[in-house]
Amino acid sequence: MALDGKTHPLNSLGFPKSPAETRVVVAMSGGVDSSVVAAQLAEQGYDVIGVTLQLYDHGAALAKKGACCAGRDIHDARRVAEEMGFPHYVLDYENIFQDAVIDEFADSYLAGATPVPCIRCNERVKFKDLLQTAKDLDADCMATGHYIQRKMGANGPELHSATDANRDQSYFLFSTKPDQLEYLRFPLGHLASKAETRALAAKYGLSVADKPDSQDICFVPNGNYASVIEKLRPGAAEPGDIVDTEGKVLAQHNGVLHYTIGQRRGLGIGGLADPLYVVRLDVDKRQVIVGPKSLLATRTIAVREINWLGDEPFNSREEWHVGVRVRSTRPPRDAVIRPISATEAEIELVVAEEGVSPGQACVFYDNDSSRIFGGGWIWRGK
């Protein structure tokens, strides 16, 4: 029942009241996507509050382009709020971000893993602390500019891939919990292309309409992981040996942190008939192990910290036949999940994947629809 005593049909965000009576906190990164979400909801008459997170010292970030949440982006988000006439706040989350995302990124990278900090940021910062802030502001929901869909199913809200497969961000949002999904909204997930988003930005006259998309991890300038790790963990670039699978020394390296599973270039090993690839990293021995491309193929993956979004309990079946994605840039591949516990499983890929690395996410997809069943973290493959 609305304040005027009349019963309203559900508004576009799913609430039985008018937009004016519906408060929405919009997580604004300063980019075109979240700016369009905020502008669109404001135009539709919702009670919009924009919030931007300062995640790290943006004094250094001001000189860096191609990443989100830098000082320039905070300015852009504030300007959009001024243009559309809704309040905007900047929250200092530096300490939270350092503890919840950056430190683990550095430690897991040094342990030979390939971390995906954007997932941890969504899981531990945006959809946890920021979401709680939205509730503290008495908001009915929180909206973001992510390209993913929230659909109502028989058992409540479900997570679905975006309509535009090229923009789909489901790989980075698999760890969204059911109670978070109740509160979140993703207004862009149904759009057919990014061009539609930019057209909306132009329609609203937003200053960020032509702003380039962010490409890098926000605290990793130019994708140079190694330089960031060296600053975070001085002394991490210890030299060592590049060896083959039998332990024969082939060359030297200047730090395991400079290498990733599947890497071929920059090994400094010439004169071989067949190219060699990084197949394993041994941090304790400071060794980079190389071998033929065939050794990169993996069919069995161990996954833990599973977040399950299916209707039945995860370990209620012996097997789940799904599609899985082990890299954000690869399409889902047919697989069989065999639960070990409510949060652990062994996954058998029907066709072997190359370059599966500990620290990456493994995301589960329904083979017969766009629904996402959650996922987990890869901790070993064979």
Rounded CA gap, 97 and 8, in Å? 40
List all residues 6 or more positions away from 24 whose beta carbon is below 8 Å from its beta carbon: 13, 41, 46, 47, 48, 49, 139, 140, 141, 142, 143, 185
Q: From CA 238, how far away is CA 172, in angstroms rounded?
A: 32
- CB count within 10 Å of CB 212 equals 10
Residue 121 annotated to the active site: yes
Please give the full DSSP string across 277-333, using - where no structure is assigned.
EEEEEETTTTEEEEE-GGGGEEEEEEEEEEEE-SSS-GGGSS-EEEEEESSTTS--E
Nearest CA among 367, 311, 341, 294 for reference residue 153: 311
Q: Are 104 and 120 in contact (CB under 8 A)?
A: yes
Please enumerate in sequence order all residues whose Cβ is within 8 A of that of 63, keeping only pairs 6 or more positions apart, or say none: none
Residue 295 to residues 49, 89, 177, 278, 336: CA-CA distances in angstroms? Answer: 51, 50, 36, 9, 22
CA dihedral (155, 157, 163, 164) in degrees, to 10, reads: -130
Which two tokens mark 207? 């200053």
Q: What is the DSSP secondary structure assignment for residue 6, as one 8-state letter?
A: P
3-state secondary structure string across 50-64: EEEEECCCHHHHCCC
Provide φ and ψ at 10, rounded to 5°: -65, 135
The answer to whether 336 and 203 are in contact (CB under 8 A) is no
Structure tokens at 15: 């609430």
331: tokens are: 């399409």
216 token code pair? 């890098």
Catalytic residue among 68, 69, 118, 121: 121
Catalytic residue among 69, 141, 218, 362: 218
Catalytic residues: 121, 218
